[in-house]
């Protein structure tokens, strides 16, 4: 058997051996989630919710918090947030809003803490790119979490930032010739349909001028 074939077979067998292990880990996490859901008393639940909200407000993600053995699963947290019978949903939304502020502070800290004293240009460039990637990721998350405050906004304004002025134009069609009326008609149709191209007979117009 060729050496390359033997190595490929070994890698394939390693993948097969890994699958049962991954399946057992998934099963163990599912059983752990069920046990957690059954074991919480009302007092435990309120205390855990308070700790969870505080950690989110301080910048931690739900995913990272729920990896702690004493914390609920992500599914439980999101179920709590949709429960209309408690105020957790509103508190959870405010905690996420606070987390957006923390992530914005992180962006400033990341930018300020880049070590520009590194003499190796390649290493310095890699550090800057890594910092930029971390900042960009946070800014994207912030924009999704708090779109009204931190999302991209497109604003249409008039001259000097004032309101857009709309002018009304009155045209007396009786003063137009047939070709001019046809151009006007096409302009109105284009405006109605959202088009910005008006087709007309340029040769005829040129001959008349």
**Which pLDDT does position 36 carry in this prediction?**
59
Residue 24 has pLDDT above 90, yes or no: no
Residue 205 has pLDDT above 60, yes or no: no
Averaged pLDDT score across all residues of the chain: 76
Residue 162 has pLDDT above 80, yes or no: no
Residue 196 has pLDDT above 60, yes or no: no
- Provide mean pLDDT across the span 186-194: 74
Round the CA-based radius of gyration of the chain to a whole number and report it: 32
Q: Which residues in 173-209 are b (16+ Cβ under 10 Å) and which e?
A: eeeeeeeeeeeeeeeeeeeeeeeeeeeeeeeeeeeee
Query: Which residue from 53, 59, 123 is spatially nearest to 94, judged by alpha carbons?
Result: 53
Query: Where are the chain's structural domains?
Result: 9-39, 44-145, 174-202
Residue 208 has pLDDT above 60, yes or no: no
Report the CATH architecture of 44-145. Answer: Orthogonal Bundle (1.10)
Residue 101 has pLDDT above 60, yes or no: yes
pTM of the predicted structure, to 2 decimals: 0.51
Could you report the per-residue pLDDT of 102-152, keeping only the tens digit for each? Answer: 999 999 999 999 888 888 889 889 999 999 999 999 998 888 877 777 776
Residue 158 has pLDDT above 90, yes or no: no
């Amino acid at each position: 058997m060729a050496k390359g074939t033997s190595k490929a077979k070994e890698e394939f067998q390693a993948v097969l051996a890994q699958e049962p292990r991954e399946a057992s880990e998934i099963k163990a996490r599912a059983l752990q989630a069920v046990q957690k859901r059954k074991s919480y008393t009302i007092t435990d639940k309120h205390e855990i919710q308070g700790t969870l909200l505080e950690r989110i407000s301080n910048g931690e993600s739900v995913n990272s918090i729920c990896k702690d053995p004493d914390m609920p699963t992500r599914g439980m947290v999101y179920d709590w947030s949709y429960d209309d019978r408690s105020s957790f949903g509103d508190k959870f939304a405010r905690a996420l809003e606070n987390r957006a502020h923390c992530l914005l502070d992180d962006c400033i800290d990341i930018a300020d803490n880049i070590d520009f004293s590194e003499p190796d240009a390649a290493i310095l460039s890699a550090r800057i790119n890594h910092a930029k990637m971390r900042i960009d990721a946070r800014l994207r998350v912030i924009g999704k979490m708090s779109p009204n405050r931190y999302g991209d906004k497109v604003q249409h304004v008039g001259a000097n930032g004032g309101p857009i002025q709309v002018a009304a134009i009155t045209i007396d069609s009786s003063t137009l010739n047939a070709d001019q009326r046809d151009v006007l008609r096409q302009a109105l149709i284009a405006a109605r349909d959202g088009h910005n191209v008006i087709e007309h007979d340029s040769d005829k117009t040129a001959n008349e001028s």
